[in-house]
Amino acid sequence: MRDQLILLPGWGLGSAPLEPLRDALLEQAPHLAVRIEPLPLEADARVWLDVLDEELPGDTWLGGWSLGGMLAAELAARRGEACRGLISCAANASFRQRDDWPNAMPTTVFEDFFEAFLLEPELTRKRFTLLVSQGARDGRTLARQLQVALPQLDVEALRAGLQLLGLLDTRAALQRYAGPQLHLFAGNDALVPASAAAALLEWLPDVETALFDGASHGLPLERPDDVAAAILGFIHEGDDA
């Protein structure tokens, strides 16, 4: 049976930013089945994990970018041995700072962004593409790619996802999940500080981390071939174990 990898996208930008990574994975490993699963559209984020758990097949590798990576962590912990392994890309254990997790976005910055979204959702989402691409080698081109592929605006679902992003603290899930874990970070990420990689490794010394120097939060779109190579190396290690 073919290995299968599920990829969950980040907040607000749809599945398009993960398509170059999917294509790179399939080019480098045609035997791998890769599926990008859109985030739920329910306005109640409390049911998102239930929806994903029901929709996604078992016995797969679970991965995700940003919010998608955090949801993948929670789902991996829920599924236990039914998850082959966990892969996150530019996903912090907690997106916003906490007293015992300072390597994240300041809470005031997150709250200001949330308020801006409620007031001007379309404009704020467009500004978000600039934050995602900030720090990239060609940030202007990356931002244009993100903006051209923006999905239809669903304010209630996006509000729910943004609220969930501020609430999630995946450290307990990461600690509870006993399977193999790979967490990829970007050195110039404007949303998830690069220091989160070392913080995670200090929190959980048994997981694997990698830091891509000179890359932005849009890592899977900006460096798809490099990210795919890292993921496939990790999967092959798991298959050989």
Query: Any idea which residues carry the catalytic annotation?
Result: 66, 189, 217
Q: Which of 30, 27, 36, 28 is nearest to 5 (CA)?
A: 36
Q: Which of 94, 104, 74, 102 is nearest to 177 (CA)?
A: 74
Spatial contact of 167 and 94, defined as CB atoms under 8 Å apart: no
Residue 132: both structure tokens together: 């995602």
Give CA–CA dist 137/141, Å, rounded.
Answer: 9
Residue 145 CB contacts under 8 Å (≥ 6 apart), including other chains: 221
Give CA–CA dist 186/133, Å, rounded.
Answer: 11
Residue 112 CB contacts under 8 Å (≥ 6 apart), including other chains: none
Residue 184: both structure tokens together: 């990829």
